[in-house]
Chain A
Amino acid sequence: MSLQRRDFLKAGGAALAAGLAGCATMRSASGPAKARVVVVGGGYGGATAARYVRLLDPTIDVILVEQNESFVSCPLSNMVLGGFRTMGDITRPYSGLEARGVRVVRDTAIAIDAQKKQVRLSRGDAIGFERVIVSPGVDFMWEALPAMASESAQGEVLHAWKAGPQTAALRLQLEAMPDGGIYVLSIPEAPYRCPPGPYERACQVAAYFRARKPRSKVLLLDANADVTSKGPLFKKAWADLYKGFIEYRPNSKAVDVDVRGRAVKLEFDDVKADVLNVLPPMKAGGAAAAFITVNKRWCEVDWVTYESKAAKGVHILGDSLQIAPAMPKSGSMANGHAKVCAAAVVALLRGEAPNPSPTLINTCYSMVSDKHAIHVASVHKYDEKDRTMKAVPGSGGVSLGMSEAEGAYAMNWAANIWADALS
């Protein structure tokens, strides 16, 4: 931003202090108001976007709409199931963002009006914006599992695929399960949030069983033909660390659930569990649903600006996106999307051209025990011709094998990415 514009905005600032409601651009005699960006969703994508808009231009008014009191990390949440971390360990406050001038509004965005440039809230008044960044994560397609439609069913057969109360509740179910029981995890067809997550979860639950309930078993029912991420590494960890504890069944797609009988219904048989954990198929979450353009599930964006292909002024990022080739739905990726998007939004608000050559790195660690990790990494660059992000040939890869060194790096990753999103 030029000095002139910065000073101009500063001079106008006093006249422009206004409430949350109203138009995005409140005009006064002294000139245009500071621009407002509303961010919907305070996860890995949204929190990072809110922070980076303020880092890049502290004159921009940033409002973050988030329904939860605190940030609860999905990465590392499987370690709560293993008993190696507490909910407190994976929970962080939004106070760092507030100290940076982000206004955090605890509410649920129920709709985004791209024409009126307003976010409508469940409880509070609508909030106007000049640009909105939508990062609501995923919603579950309960219609794929008819018996799971009711809230009571969803309270009994847990997903724990959004870190929070369900994570703690699933841990309690595992603790209450008698030794000799079977924990069944049903995995949906890709794409879903966090491709390696289910296989990491199997390791964590098996680690708990090995230590405390050695006659118990983990049974993975995978709708996919094989492990969808870090396959050989997970299979080696299962064989080396949890021999006899984990059974893997590919091509086992859940078509419904017997809630009272605690069973998954597959196409040809039912599989009974003592603790049943079902990951339903997923689609773009909450406020992003209105901008779905692919398979009635995902949102397409311009990879330079993350502006929706369905609506101007609406930017979407994170797990709601129709992913580019070889790009996972991960917290790491959402953090990267958010920084490209934040810089583009700031540029567009100034009437400048956004960065025409965005680059993204993905690095995902999976904890295969309380201290050993494996990773998958990739580097993606913008392809001008095909207007998509593509993995750079020769870059990226997975671990040679699990290691304690990578376990330590995974913890550093968490500390640094949380600070990058929230401080």
Chain B
Amino acid sequence: MEKHLAMAAAAAAFAAAALAQQPVPPTPAFAAPNLTPQGVAALAANCAMCHGTRGLPAPGSSLPRIAGRNAESTIEAMKAFKEGKREATVMHQIAKGFTDSEIAAIAGYFASQREGS
């Protein structure tokens, strides 16, 4: 019995040591977001594949237009997606990739976009 306990203890110690030696995935050293006007436009350009260039949907697209939308309402929607409070197919997964300051900057960018500008 004692022998078994000792073996179990040794095994546990070994497992702990192995765990300790396992490489912990390093936290990514993300570059600080560039929130100059060009940097914000570059961030927002990622939304174009579904929401249209500068948030202006292409003819035939039925997704909501985000160009010209009030910044507060975009921020609120993105926050709700990010926190899982608003149901979505994909936006909750995408919103989690952006910091609050990035979301605010993107929302401001879309609020100022107009047709033909």
Contacts and interface: CB of A to CB of B under 8 A. Distances in A.
B97 A381 contact: yes
Interface in A370-391: 375, 377-386, 390
Given A375-B89, A393-B28, A416-B51, A361 B63 contact: no
Interface stretch (B2-10, B15-23, B34-42, B67-75): B34-42
Interface of B: 28-34, 38-39, 42-43, 45-53, 57-63, 89-90, 93-94, 96-98, 102
Given A339-B45, A358-B42, A413-B49, A385 B90 contact: no
Q: Which 10 A-B pairs have the closest CB atoms?
A: A379-B97, A395-B97, A419-B58, A357-B31, A385-B29, A361-B46, A395-B96, A392-B97, A397-B93, A417-B49
Contacts of B47: 361
B50 A409 contact: yes
B60 A356 contact: no
Contacts of B97: 359, 361, 378-381, 392, 395-396
Given A339-B42, A361-B46, A415 B59 contact: yes
Contacts of B58: 415-416, 418-420, 423
Given A363-B50, A384-B29, A413-B49, A357 B89 contact: no
Contact of B90 (A377, A392, A417, A418): A377
A340 B42 contact: yes
B42 A420 contact: no
Interface string A342-358: 01000100000001111
A420 B30 contact: no
Nearest to B45: A339
A399 interface: yes
A406 interface: yes
Contacts of B38: 343, 347, 355
A386 to B, nearest CB: 7
A268 to B, nearest CB: 38
User: Looking at chain B's contact residues, is the secondary structure mostly helix, strand, loop, or mixed?
Assistant: loop
A322 interface: no
Contacts of A399: 89-90
A115 B36 CA distance: 34
5 contacts: A357-B31, A409-B89, A416-B63, A418-B58, A420-B53
A276 B90 CA distance: 35
Contacts of A358: 42
Contacts of A383: 28-31
Interface of A: 52, 55, 332, 335-336, 339-340, 343, 347, 355-361, 363, 375, 377-386, 390, 392-397, 399-400, 403, 405-406, 408-409, 411-413, 415-420, 423
A412 B63 contact: yes
Contact of A336 (B46, B52, B63, B102): B46
Contacts, number: 141
B34 A355 contact: yes
Nearest to A331: B49
B101 to A, nearest CB: 12
Contacts of A343: 38, 42
A132 B51 CA distance: 29
Given A52-B45, A385-B29, 17 more contacts: A356-B31, A357-B39, A359-B102, A363-B49, A378-B97, A383-B31, A384-B29, A384-B30, A396-B93, A408-B62, A412-B57, A412-B60, A415-B58, A416-B50, A416-B63, A420-B52, A420-B58
Query: Which of B62, B63, B90, B102 counts the most A-chain CB atoms under 10 A from its CB?
Result: B90
A416 B57 contact: yes
Contacts of A393: 28
Contacts of A385: 29
A56 to B, nearest CB: 8
Contacts of A377: 90, 93-94
A358 B63 CA distance: 26
A359 B46 contact: yes
Nearest to A382: B31
B42 A355 contact: yes
A360 B50 CA distance: 14
Contacts of A380: 97
Contacts of B48: 335, 339, 416-417, 420
Contacts of B51: 416
A222 to B, nearest CB: 26
A372 B33 CA distance: 36
Contacts of A336: 46, 49
B100 to A, nearest CB: 14
A38 B10 CA distance: 66
A363 B45 CA distance: 14
Residue among A343, A356, A361, A395 having the largest count of chain B Cβ atoms under 10 Å: A361
B89 A412 contact: no
Contacts of A415: 57-61
